[in-house]
Every structure is written in structure tokens, then in C-alpha cells.
Amino acid sequence: MIEQDLAGRRALVTGGGGGIGLACAHEFARRGAHVTIADLNADAAHAAAGEVGGDAWVVDLSETSALDDLTLDVDILVNNAGIQRVSPIPEFDPDTFRLLLRLMLESPFLLVRAALPGMYAKGWGRIINISSAHGLRASPFKSAYVSAKHGLEGLSKVTALEGAAHRVTSNCINPAYVRTPLVEKQIADQAVFHGIPESEVVEKIMLTEMAIKRLVEPDEVASLAGWLASDKAAMVTGASYTIDGGWTAR
């Protein structure tokens, strides 16, 4: 029997329709929280909300100007929605760069901004930012993604400092490659790019930096998010927790 240590808490998970976000939604719901799934994909958002007995908020979080005046009544905010685009800088489409920055840095800022007043009024809150090993390290061809995730690290630390007096914590989780639709698409793309079978992409391309040679599972990320949301993690703030099989130990 899982401890219902998040009973009475309201959680908002962006990109909760699939992958890591969906695993987080399940983790929070199992621990007793009410979960709202914010996702661009209406079918996925409604299906996920049904699975966890929560609500769906169908929204394009890259449309950031629509979030300027938002107010959020949530205890736990998980900034998770994200996409990947890969290209050398000289060929990187400027609008695509801006899209990633809006979705993965501006929108987390605006959602944090919308949630903090309610958290401050209650004297309790948890901001959990799904960053990446690429929030701490760079790889070629991922200029927008690496920039957005490094920016998210900074936003998370500032939120931690401002929120501390109000018992609001803010932390990042930094996974390496996680077995989700986002990565499965990259496996197919990289197989074509490198001219090797998909079965070899994971071992030869993705796991080169990781000491433990396997993909991370979404529920491994979700269990850390669940702990960060709990009262046991009250003194953990401004931190970045790697789940990267040793990648950043190098």
C-alpha cells in the first residue's frame, strides 16, 4: 500500500499526456494528489486524466502570450512539456529556436509566476522542473534544447531562493535518455542519419556517455518527482538531481 502522503494536494503536470509527464501524473495520483494534465494533444490529455482520475487542460504552452495573466491554484507544478529539434547552428531555423525557448523556458516561467502567489498564501509549494542531462552538459546540434534547459536550471534556482521563505521548493530533475515517444522518434531518425539499424542506435549512439548502458524508465523519473513533492524533501531546494547512469560523473 503506497503512503497517501500527497492527499489533498493539487498537482499540475505539463506534457502529462505521455512519456515522463504521464508517469509523474500516475505517481502523484497513487500518492493521493488530484492531478491536472496540461497537454497540446487533446486525446492524450483526456485519456491521461481519465487514467489518473484528474482533469485535462488542453493547451498549447508555446503560445506564451496567452499565459501572461494566468492564475494557478496548485500545490505542485511539474514543468515537463518539451520537444527536441536537432540541426547545426548555421542551419538552425530561427523560428524553431524561438519555439523551443518559448515552450521550455518562457512557459515554465509564466506557470511558476502564475502558481507562486497561491503557494505563498498557503505557505507550501513544490516546483519540479524536468530538465535534462542537457541542462548540465552540451551536445552538438542541440543548441535550442541545451539553451532552454540551461535557462530552466537558472529559473529553478531563482525560484528556490525566492520561494524559500514561503516553504516553496524548486528543483530540477536531469535524466539522460528516457524510454519515451520523444526518444523513440530520435532512435528512428538517428538510424537513418547514421545508416545503422535502429537496434544499434541506443547502444552505439545514445548510451556512449552513460556508464550504465540502458535507457532510463519514465517511472524512475516519476518516483524522484514524487519524493521531491513529499514533505520528506522539504529541505531540498535549488538542486538538480541527475538520473543519467553516470553520464555527468565524467
Ligand X SMILES: NC(=O)c1ccc[n+]([C@@H]2O[C@H](COP(=O)([O-])OP(=O)(O)OC[C@H]3O[C@@H](n4cnc5c(N)ncnc54)[C@H](O)[C@@H]3O)[C@@H](O)[C@H]2O)c1
Residues of span 196-215 touching ligand X by CB under 6 A: none
Tell me, what DSSP letter sits at residue 178?
B
- Binding window for ligand X (CB under 6 A); candidates: 5-13, 18-26, 86-94, 222-230: 18-26
Minimum separation from the CB atom of position 181 to ligand X (A): 4
Q: What angle do CA 203, 145, 226 make, to 5 degrees?
A: 75
SS3 71: coil
Q: Establish if 243 lies at the interface with ligand X (CB under 6 A).
A: no
Q: Establish if 248 lies at the interface with ligand X (CB under 6 A).
A: no
Q: What is the sign, positive or negative, of the torsion defined by CA atoms of 90, 106, 65, 37?
A: positive
Q: How far apart are CA 19 and CA 178, in angstroms?
A: 9
Q: How far apart are CA 141 and CA 111, in angstroms?
A: 28
Q: Establish if 33 lies at the interface with ligand X (CB under 6 A).
A: no
Question: Which cell numbers in the block locate residue 208?
Answer: 556512449
Which of 10, 21, 49, 106 lies at the binding interface for ligand X (CB under 6 A)?
Answer: 21
Interaction pattern, residues 77-96, with ligand X; x per rule: CB under 6 A: ---xxxx-------------
Q: Establish if 47 lies at the interface with ligand X (CB under 6 A).
A: no
Nearer of residues 44 and 229 to ligand X, judged by Cβ: 44
Q: Establish if 18 lies at the interface with ligand X (CB under 6 A).
A: yes
Give 206's contacts (C-beta < 8 A, 6+ positions apart). Answer: 177, 183, 186, 187, 190, 215
Q: What angle do CA 119, 38, 68 make, to 5 degrees?
A: 60
Nearer of residues 21 and 245 to ligand X, judged by Cβ: 21
- What's at 126, amino acid-wise? R
Q: How far, CA to CA in Å, does 184 sit from each of 21, 103, 154?
A: 16, 21, 29
- What's at 120, amino acid-wise? Y
- Binding window for ligand X (CB under 6 A); candidates: 17-25, 156-164, 188-196, 226-234: 17-25
Q: Is 145 part of the annotated catalytic residue set?
A: yes
Q: Establish if 177 lies at the interface with ligand X (CB under 6 A).
A: yes
| Contact positions vs ligand X (CB under 6 A) | 15, 17-21, 39-41, 44, 59-62, 80-83, 103, 130, 132, 175, 177-178, 180-183
Which active-site residues does the annotation give? 145
